[in-house]
Chain A
């Protein structure tokens, strides 16, 4: 079993839709959770960062962490064609041999059509 599972999609939605992206994980030591957006042929861009459980909102984006279920989500409201990209979840434990390592999901490819 991979440490981080993420449905690769592809996910295709109309403009204005609410998008839900999810990851599950198996390592209960993970405490730091990140979402990156990666446009085609570009480097990943940090979107959201959360620590431990709870919600965090930034404009149209909301990140949720449920540590009891080992489940994280990213919601995009009022999706735009410019949101079309691959979304990668990443997490870290900051402990011993895992220090400095990010554990990535496979990425979900999202297309928002006008």
Chain B
């Protein structure tokens, strides 16, 4: 099973709201990722967690706050977002950052489509 699940599928929020995106995988992967994708663009890396510790933060504004409560779950907390933050937010996982071969590959969830009004 190579499934990564994400909830909710769609989210509409105002600029003063606080919301959270959730991601779950049960493949035993120890690296998890958040990406942002705008229309007709490739995914842009936001954060990487390795063994539940934040490994990479691609200079993402503090209104995005990631959390990895355990090895299967990844959250993205949203607060005071701007309309330009509207995008598809993708979660992905891979076996391990140091895995060789196919352990390198990342498996993506279906995404959360976020609209900020």
Chain A interfacial positions (CB closer than 8 Å to B) = 8, 32, 34, 36, 41-46, 49, 51, 88, 92, 94, 99-102, 104-107, 109
Q: Which residues of A contact B4 (CB under 8 A)?
A: 43
Give per-residue flags for B1-15: 1 if the beta carbon is below 8 A from chain A beta carbons, else 0: 010101000000000
Give per-residue flags for B52-69: 1 if the beta carbon is below 8 A from chain A beta carbons, else 0: 000110000000000000
Q: Which residues of A contact B50 (CB under 8 A)?
A: 100
Given A41-B113, A49-B102, A99-B98; A107-B42 close (CB under 8 Å): yes
* B32 CB to nearest chain A CB (Å): 10
* 23 A-B residue pairs with CB within 8 Å: A32-B105, A36-B108, A41-B88, A41-B111, A42-B111, A43-B6, A43-B90, A43-B108, A44-B43, A44-B108, A45-B108, A46-B2, A46-B105, A46-B107, A49-B104, A94-B104, A99-B98, A100-B33, A100-B48, A100-B50, A101-B48, A104-B43, A106-B41
Partner of A32 from B31, B48, B104 at Cβ < 8 Å = B104
Q: A-B pairs with CB below 8 Å: how many?
A: 60
Which secondary structure dominates chain A's binding surface?
Answer: loop
A43 touching B105, Cβ below 8 Å: no
Alpha-carbon gap, A99 to B99, bound state (A): 10
Alpha-carbon gap, A43 to B35, bound state (A): 10
A43 touching B109, Cβ below 8 Å: yes
Partner of A106 from B33, B42, B105 at Cβ < 8 Å = B42
> Closest 8 A-B residue pairs measured CB to CB?
A104-B42, A43-B108, A100-B48, A43-B110, A43-B111, A44-B108, A32-B104, A100-B97
B108 touching A102, Cβ below 8 Å: no
Q: Which residues of A contact B31 (CB under 8 A)?
A: 100
